[in-house]
A and B are shown apart, each in its own frame.
Chain A
Amino acid sequence: MGTYKTGDGQTEISLSVDINTLGLAASRAIVLLISDPSSAKAVAHSENATGDIAKKIIGTSNGLQNRRLSILTKVDLLDSDLEQRKAQYNNITANYVLSGGTDGSVTFNTPLKSVDAKYKTALIHQPIDLI
């Protein structure tokens, strides 16, 4: 879990996501109040199967403070060989950059990863608490 200081002004906070994989990838980012899951709102998503999200404003410091930013990526690995898929899963990396807040530009690159038993579908999750 990462944390990022947004500050409390009207400054715009931006997010960019860079997913590195040879598989099919799709990413989506939401913000929510943990105490009120119905507040969840999608703020960005990938435009193609690279899974990348080009730098995008996701809200203002005031609007994002005390919320959780969740960036989830689904990856489908295509190789027909199980060992190759295992290697490809292990090689998946991701970089998430937040900027515009009190913390300035910060890169997060240690997401949680999980994959099914056949190593065909993986989920990559980076949660960041905005404080």
Chain B
Amino acid sequence: MKKITLIFGILLINVTLKAQQSIKLKDLAVPNSPAFILTDITPTLIQNPNSPKKFVLGLAQSFDKSSSGFPENYAAEFAPYWLTSSEGKNVYAAVGLKTKTDDDGNFKILNKEDIFSGLKFTSISLGFINKDLIPDGVDLSQKVFAVGARATFIKVQQDGYAKKMKGLIDEWHIAAQKDLEAYQLAIAIDASQENLDLQAKKLAEKNAQKSGALADEIAELIQQKPKFSWDFAGAYATYGIEDQDWQTGRVGAWTTLSTYIPLASANAKAIKNYFNLNASLRYLRDNFSKNDLGVITKNNNIDVGGKAALEFDQLSVGVETLYRYVNGKGNAENRTVGVINYKIADNIFLNGAFGKNFESQSKSIAILGINWGIGSEKANLPGN
């Protein structure tokens, strides 16, 4: 009973104190879907079309449902690179290794990484929603169209990445040739679809041994945090007011610089512990914001934040600082706090933040709570 009371107590503190904070450092980090962040589109509305056909179909259906000519609520997020045909693409481009085709047409893989390789994975988010984003006291939805893009401009991998990645891929290729040698005769003799399906199933079961294990290792290396990355995002939302008049509603821009210094040898199989430093800058313009006098006015926010943290597999400990400038002036939400996250079990995280607001030395922040997450992500500090 005491334990239950304690847990409820902690959760109550969490809810009460969280309500006092309207911005968090993680809000400053470059979002995956800037258009949705800008217009508060709920995740349940979002589609992730994995082919151009699905995207066009989804959009067409939302137009069909509409009687006004403006789509019913529709939001989609996609990276054009993944949607388009694989023509001319290969795994080396996907993992960020540089390649070269010489004058004789010979393809060569270089032991160098392409630091701009993240650009091709630029993602687009767009949404058509009917929502009241003007806080004027009139309960009337506007037609809102929002579009945004997110890109990694520069990504420098950890030392030795290119050599390690090329080495693993070479090993995989040798192992895969052996797989082919083992299965090809049976597939060639009975060249039916049924037999190919049967052999593919057998191969997948056996695959966990050599080439499958190498593929898993390659996939893990892709997930490794970079030594340095520079991410950008931008979004624009326009409101259809009284059907005919379209006006700019909100504009946002985000950028984050991050560095992850591994706390293990570069030769380690997979790096999971880092010292992380990052800095984020966010600009938000809202042309329909209510000021302290209750008047609708334009509002410009610039938020600057940074974080230094030690990140281990289960535990993250760090300090983060955040400054907000509203129309060029400092704000009460400026603060520096210590943050701790501990992964108790899969999907259960203990989060804590302790510190003081800048405005008043007497205003302390103390948050301790348990989060039940979905998925099995590592416990990361906000902003990752």
Using a CB–CB cutoff of 8 Å, the interface residues on chain A facing chain B are 1, 20-28, 30, 32, 34, 37, 40, 42, 45-46, 48-52, 54, 68, 70, 72-74, 76, 78-80, 83-84, 86-88, 90-93, 112-118, 120-123, 125, 127
Interface contact B50-A87, CB-CB below 8 Å: yes
Find out whether the CB atom of B196 lies under 8 angstroms from the CB atom of A123.
Answer: yes
Q: Check if B246 is an interface residue, CB within 8 A of chain A.
A: no
Q: What's the Cα separation between A23 and B187 when bound, in Å?
A: 22
In whole angstroms, what is the CA distance A44 to B86 when docked?
A: 23
Instruction: Flag if A114 contacts B196 (CB, 8 Å).
Output: yes
Q: Which of B28-36, B133-141, B169-177, B301-309 contacts A (4 or more CB under 8 A)?
A: B169-177
Contact of A49 among B48, B92, B207, B223 (CB under 8 A): B92
User: Who on chain A is nearest to B207 by CB?
Assistant: A121
Further pairs besides A21-B90, A73-B180, A125-B187: 13, Cβ < 8 Å: A20-B89, A21-B89, A30-B188, A37-B185, A78-B94, A91-B86, A113-B196, A115-B200, A116-B200, A116-B203, A120-B212, A120-B215, A123-B203
Number of interface residues of B (CB under 8 A): 53
**Do the beta carbons of B180 and A40 come within 8 Å of each other?**
no
Known: A48-B173, A49-B92, A78-B94. A116 touches B187 (CB 8 A): no
Is B85 within 8 A of A93, CB to CB?
yes
Which among A25, A49, A127 has the highest number of chain B CB atoms within 10 Å?
A49
Residue of A nearest to B87 (CB): A20
Rounded to whole angstroms, the CA-CA distance of A88 and B188 in the bound complex is 25
Q: Is the CB of A50 within 8 A of B86?
A: no
Q: How close is A53's CB to chain B, nearest CB, in angstroms?
A: 11
Is chain A's binding surface mostly helix, strand, loop or mixed? strand
Binds A, one of B15-23, B101-109, B231-239: B101-109
Q: How far is the CB of B69 from chain A (nearest CB, A)?
A: 31
Partner of B82, one of A27, A37, A87: A87
Q: Which A residues touch B199, using CB under 8 A?
A: 114, 123
Interface-centre pick from B93, B176, B204 (highest chain A CB count, 10 A): B176
Q: Return 25 A-B CB contacts under 8 Å, by A number.
A: A22-B82, A22-B86, A24-B91, A24-B169, A24-B176, A26-B173, A26-B177, A27-B180, A30-B188, A37-B189, A40-B184, A50-B91, A52-B107, A54-B106, A68-B191, A70-B187, A70-B188, A74-B203, A74-B211, A78-B215, A78-B218, A87-B50, A87-B83, A88-B82, A93-B86
